[in-house]
Structure formats: C-alpha cells, structure tokens
Amino acid sequence: MSTRIYNELDLAYVKRVLDAGQDGRGEAIVEELEERFAAKVGARYAIAVNAGMSGLHIALAAAGVGPGVEAVVDPIVQFGGLAVMYNNGVPIFADVDPATHNMSPASLEERICERTKAVVVTHLWGLPAEMQDIRAIADRHGLVVVEDCAHALFAEHRGRKVGTWGHIGMFSFQAAKHLSTGQGGIVVTDDEALAKEMRAVAAFGAAPDRLAWVFRMAGVVAAVALAQLERAEGYVAEDRENAKLYQEAVAGCPWLVPQAEPPYSTHSHHCWAAAFYGESYGVDYEAFKRACREEGAQVSFGYTQRSWKEAQIVAAYEFPVFAEPVAYGKGCPTRCPLYGRELPYRKGYCPNAEALIPRLCVTALSTRRRDEVASGALGLLRAIKRMGW
C-alpha cells in the first residue's frame, strides 16, 4: 500500500469516543468527520455511512429511483447496478470509452429515456470520468448524477475534485481503498434537500415515520476515519508516484496500452490499469499471462477480482443477478410488472466494454508498499521482454 499508518493518533481519536461512554454513542465524532471530509473535497454536506454500497443505496433512494424507474450505470463494475436494484429500480448499462475505461457520454445519452431518473458514474481505477460532458447531458434530461468515487479520492477533473461534479458523490472506506477503516463510506452533496433525504433514509429513530435503514457510521469507525483523513493526501500522492513505476515498465511497448489520462484530469491511482492488444503484434495473450505470473508482475487479467474464475470475466449485465431474475427471487425489480419492458441486456449490448474487459491488466496500488510495487513493475517489464519486446 501506500505505506498506510495506524498508530497513536487513531487510538487517541478512538479513545475520545470510548471515553464519552454510553451517552456519547459517537455522534459528535461522526459529525466532526462529516464536516472535515466535506471541507476536504469542497462539498457543503457529508453523511457518513457503514459502507460505500450503503452510500450508493441512499443516494439513489434520494434521487427517486424506485420500481419502474431506470438509472444508467457502468458495465465494468457491478456496484452502481446493484444499488439501483436495492431500490427496486432497473439498471441500464452504458458503454465505455476503450481508452479511458470510463463511461462514454455519447452512450449515456443514447440510453436515456422518459423513465430515466439518475446516472451512476464510476471513476474507474481512480481516473475521473468525463464529468463536464456527463453533467451537461444529465442537466439537459433532468437526471440526478451520482459519482462513484470509491477509487478516486482527491482525483480532479478540470481543476475540480470528483464527488462535486455530480449532485452526489460517494466515497468508500473499504479495506482496499486509499482511506480505509476496514469498512465504511461517506456521501457528499451541495444540495440541502438531497442531504436531508439521504440522512432520513440512512437511519431511523425510536418511532420510525417512514422506511429507513441502519446505515449510519459507528463512532469508533469515524474516529479511525478522522485519523486516516489527516494522512490520506499523502497516501494518494504515494500511489501516484508508484503508478509511474508500472507506467515506465510499459513505456515503448505498443501492445500493452495504459488507461489514457486526459491532461485535464488527475488520477488518484487506486489501481494502475492497461489493456492487452498483442494479437496484432504476434504476442500470445496466454503466454504473456503465464510470463506475468512467473515473473511476479502482480497484475490480474480481465478484472480486479483476482479470485474470480475465467468464466466470470464478462460485463456486469451478464452476471446472473442482472441477467436472470434472481435478485428478489420472483423476478423483481427487472421483471416487475411495473416495469413491463423487455430488458435490453444481451451479448453485444456494450461492445466496447465487452471487448475491453478480457483485455484488462490491472494492479491495485493502494494496498501495496512501494517496494512491492517496484518488484511488480520490474516483473511486468521482464514479462514484456520475454515476449520479445
């Protein structure tokens, strides 16, 4: 990892919560985290939650996603699609730009119809999506934009931090992320009504007057988050530096093409990613994968979830949870009579994503120290050389 530190500072914050005893329940420290996090990313409001997925859940609830409602999501990761379905909505997958791996604004616009209420945009691997264009399209069609910033802490698009381009931004504090509390997350917004609505569905009181969940962050988790927030800019800076080692390893290799980084964006490098196009250079993909394994390149192929089987290297909409009516057992929400439409998911639905996903060569940076990254990057260089380059 970036050399992530947990020490007396974290313990001091945790002690503050525990010293407050039964009465405190950590609410004050959760509020302190919310204020400090909002200030760091330049948003007016923040609501701390127990997981990034809970953040997406309440964001889409506040956006009005529900039965019969569509929301456009990304096809390489499943998170936005699942969060739409948590709210009984229908996820509609937009295609990606093969160079940036992020949502294509043109494809987003194509997917919008009279039932669309929201779009969830992921800043994949830490590279900001084309937010200026996406926000303009969303505004033309009256959509709520939810940014999935789980990979992209402090990344910027055209001089502005991600999470503040959309109506709502979600950040994950899950174990592998830049800022980790083991599990946790936070949503930010400038919109008072959306903030109020997200707070209302994230927790209920003694006499609930509406349906709400138990998604609020615990005080001891907020304590660790506060300590980590003091160091998070340093972690991101370290991962940006470490990404250069992989970038240097592939420099001059025409068939391993790193994720494009437009000059107006700053990448946070939760991961480093490239795509394999060796066929046209006579490089066998299976031989290259083998060489990477043997040389210790520490990259995974297809998608980041290393433990997944080869057969599962597909676009998100090909996962059973989306493609088959298994989510709530009886076919809802995607086969819900309130929806009453044929789902568009099929092979070839997002051709760029389908072509890109099996070619992806990804390495996580924010869970590895510099010496580990350096050794992986060297392994990748050796693997490339073994292919005759």
Ligand X SMILES: Cc1ncc(COP(=O)(O)O)c(C=O)c1O
Count CB-CB contacts under 10 A for residue 160.
Answer: 14
Taking CB under 6 A as the criterion, the residue among 16, 47, 52, 187 binding ligand X is 52
174 binds ligand X per the rule CB under 6 A: yes
Residue 116 forms beta bridges with which residues? 70
Which C-beta is closer to ligand X: that of 174 or that of 247?
A: 174
The DSSP output letter for 317 is G
Q: Is 53 in the site for ligand X (CB under 6 A)?
A: yes
Among the listed residues 45, 79, 215, 272, the single contact to ligand X using CB under 6 A? 79
166 binds ligand X (CB under 6 A): no
CB of 110 to ligand X, least distance (A): 23
Region from 17-25, 147-155, 316-324, 338-346 binding ligand X, contact rule CB under 6 A: 147-155
Residue 267: CB atoms within 10 Å: 23
How far is the C-alpha of 74 from the C-alpha of 92, rounded, in Å?
8
122 binds ligand X (CB under 6 A): yes
User: Based on CB atoms, which residue is closest to ligand X, 79 or 339?
Assistant: 79
Stretch that binds ligand X, among 4-12, 49-57, 255-263, 371-379 (CB under 6 A): 49-57
Least CB distance from residue 276 to ligand X, whole Å?
A: 22
**Smallest distance from the beta carbon of 174 to ligand X, in angstroms?**
4
Q: Distance between CA 60 and CA 121 in Å, rounded?
A: 12
| Residues in a beta bridge with 73 | 93
Residue from 33, 156, 106 nearest 350 by CA: 106
Region from 145-153, 246-254, 273-281, 343-351 binding ligand X, contact rule CB under 6 A: 145-153
If binding is defined by CB under 6 A, does position 147 make contact with ligand X? no
For residues 350 and 91, is the Cβ–Cβ distance under 8 A? no
Instruction: Give Cα separations from 83 to 4, 87, 119, 188, 347 (angstroms).
Output: 29, 7, 11, 17, 23
242 binds ligand X (CB under 6 A): no
CB of 100 to ligand X, least distance (A): 15
Nearer to ligand X, 301 or 303 (CB): 303
Q: Which residue has the tokens 């964006």?
A: 265
Smallest distance from ligand X to CB 73, Å: 11
| Residue 235 contacts ligand X per CB under 6 A | no
Spatial CA neighbour of 168 closest among 182, 180, 181, 185? 185
Shortest Å distance, C-beta 330 to ligand X: 26
Q: What are phi and psi of 251, to 5 degrees?
A: -55, 130
CB closest to ligand X, residue no: 52
51 binds ligand X (CB under 6 A): yes
Per DSSP, the residues of 132-170 read HHHHHHHHHHTPEEEEE-TT-TT-EETTEETTSSSSEEE
Interface residue with ligand X, options 87, 102, 107, 172 (CB under 6 A): 172
CB under 6 A: which stretch of 46-54, 242-250, 289-297, 381-389 binds ligand X?
46-54
Q: Check if the beta carbon of residue 93 is closer than 8 Å to that of residue 81.
A: yes
- Six-digit token string for 253: 């290799």
Among 43, 73, 77, 377, binds ligand X (CB under 6 A): 77
Residue type at 46?
Answer: A
Min CB(189)–ligand X separation in Å: 17
CA–CA distance, 94 with 115 (Å, rounded to integer): 15
Answer for the pair 247, 140: CB distance below 8 angstroms, yes or no.
no
Q: Yes or no: say if 202 and 49 are a contact pair by the CB < 8 Å rule.
A: yes
Select 273 or 283, whichever has its Cβ closest to ligand X: 273
Name the residue nearer to ligand X (CB basis): 51 or 378.
51
Q: How many residues bind ligand X (CB under 6 A)?
A: 12
From the CB of 216, what's the least distance to ligand X, in Å? 14
The answer to whether 333 and 55 have CB atoms below 8 angstroms apart is: no
Go through the chain and tell me how many residues it has: 389
Residues 185-214 that bind ligand X (CB under 6 A): 185
151 near ligand X, rule: CB under 6 A? yes
Binding site for ligand X (CB under 6 A): 51-53, 77, 79, 122, 148, 150-151, 172, 174, 185
